[in-house]
């Protein structure tokens, strides 16, 4: 069976000075799948995501997006970034703009949509994440959970092919986490490609098609959610999951 890969990562390496954070990563992401990356702190999960949307430049290797190497100097990064969304742990909303404007600004500048159309789309996305009533609020006037919803709407407004989530609920109070997870679950059902770094193991187990366990800069184990969570083979995966189970 021919696989439809949206991303193919080959021999990816990333060093900060002498410190090699990603060591020879090989990974394939299928179109429409929900992939979760788990692993202990410092194992390189965020760095991998940042390399995937070119916030950090990989030191070596290839990242093929629909067959094109995104690390090629002639590759159109702007277009690629517009198609690949990113949701951050710290929300990173634009503080000078209200919720609506946050969702409009990249549509008009990057996608060159006309303002009326962009605004209509932005409103629709804000509705979708339950932020319809707050379109006029500035980030400083919103709670953490509300900010993250706006940030998700901002990404969705670009009609992305794929969204990268880097611990989207880690900075939230526990009672707000579920709301965000519900939104992501809904998104997963729409067939969007999602790569998610999270410490919410239960949630990862529920929604993931594909789970990757990272350890010290390498992919120690990967497989279906069922396989990784129920019968992990690698002792380090077992150890890692044990720690989480104990905590629960």
Partner 1 sequence: MYLKQKRSWLSIIGLLFAVFVIAAGTFHSSQAQAAKKSKKVFLVGMEANYPPFNWTQQDASNGAVPIQGSNLYANGYDVQVSKRIAKRLGRPVEVAKTEWDGLLPALTSGKIDAIIAGMTPTPEREKTIDFTRAYYNSKQIIVVNKNSKYAKAKTLKDFKGAKLTGQLSTVQYDLIKQIKGAIREPAMRDFSSMRVALQSNTIDGYVAELPEGYSMAVADPNATYINLSGKGGFVLDKTESQEAIGLRKNDPNKATINSVLSKLPNSEQSRLMQQAVKEQPQTSSQGNWFIDIWQQYGGMLLRGIGMTLLLAIVGTAVGFIIGLLIGIVRTIPAPKKRLQRYLINFVNWLLSVYIEVFRGTPMIVQAAVFYYGAAQAFGINLDRTTSALIIVSINTGAYLAEIIRGGIISIDQGQFEAATALGMTHFQQMNKIVLPQAVRNSIPAVTNEFIVNIKDTSVLSIISVSELFFTGSTIAGQNFQFFHTYLTISLIYLIMTFTITRIFRLIEKKLNGPKNYDLMTNDFQIATPKIAGK
Q: Which residues pair with 9 in a beta bridge?
A: 27, 63
Q: Per the structure block, which two tokens stand in for 3?
A: 């696989």
Q: Which residues bind partner 1 (CB under 8 A)?
A: 53, 55, 73, 77-82, 84-86, 88, 90-98, 100-101, 104-106, 109-110, 115, 119-120, 123-124, 127, 129-138, 141, 143, 145-146, 149, 151, 154-155, 158, 176, 178-179, 182-183
Smallest gap, in angstroms, from Cβ of residue 41 to Mg ion? 7
Q: If you compute the radius of gyration of the chain from its CA atoms, what whole number of angstroms results?
A: 18
Contact 70, 54 (CB under 8 A): yes
Dihedral in degrees, nearest 10, Cα atoms 25, 26, 31, 34? -50
The secondary element (H helix, E strand) that includes residue 241 is: helix 235-247
Cα–Cα dist 40/247, whole Å: 14
Q: With respect to ligand ATP, which residue has the nearer C-beta, 56 or 101?
A: 56
Q: Which residues bind ligand ATP (CB under 6 A)?
A: 16, 19, 21, 39, 41-47
Cα–Cα dist 239/215, whole Å: 11
Residue with tokens 């006037």: 141
Q: With respect to partner 1, which residue has the nearer C-beta, 1 or 140?
A: 140
Q: With respect to Mg ion, which residue has the nearer C-beta, 41 or 74?
A: 41
Q: Quick one: what does residue 42 bind among ligand ATP, Mg ion, partner 1, none, with the CB cut-off 5 to 8 Å set by partner type?
A: ligand ATP
Binding to Mg ion by CB under 5 A, coded x per residue (else -) over 21-50, reads -------------------------x----
Residues that bind Mg ion (CB under 5 A): 46
């Amino acid at each position: 069976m021919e696989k439809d890969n949206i991303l193919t990562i080959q021999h990816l390496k990333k060093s900060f000075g002498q410190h090699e954070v990603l060591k020879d990563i090989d990974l394939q992401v299928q179109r429409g799948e929900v992939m979760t990356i788990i692993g202990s702190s410092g194992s390189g999960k965020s760095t991998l995501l940042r390399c995937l949307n070119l916030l950090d430049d990989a030191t070596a290797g290839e990242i093929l997006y629909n067959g094109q190497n995104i690390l090629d100097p002639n590759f159109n990064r702007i277009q690629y970034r517009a198609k690949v969304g990113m949701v951050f742990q710290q929300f990173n909303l634009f503080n000078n703009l209200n919720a609506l404007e946050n969702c409009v600004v990249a549509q008009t500048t990057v996608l060159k949509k006309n303002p009326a159309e962009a605004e209509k789309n932005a409103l629709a996305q804000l509705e979708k994440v339950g932020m319809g009533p707050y379109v006029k609020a500035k980030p400083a006037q919103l709670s953490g959970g509300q900010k993250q919803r706006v940030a998700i709407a901002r990404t969705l407004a670009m009609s992305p092919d794929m969204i990268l989530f880097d611990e989207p609920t880690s900075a939230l109070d526990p009672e707000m986490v579920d709301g965000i997870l519900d939104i992501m679950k809904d998104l997963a059902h729409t067939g969007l490609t999602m790569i998610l770094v999270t410490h919410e193991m239960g949630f990862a187990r529920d929604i993931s098609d594909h789970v990757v366990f990272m350890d010290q800069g390498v992919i120690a184990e990967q497989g279906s959610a069922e396989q990784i969570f129920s019968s992990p083979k690698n002792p380090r995966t077992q150890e890692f999951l044990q720690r989480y189970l104990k905590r629960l």
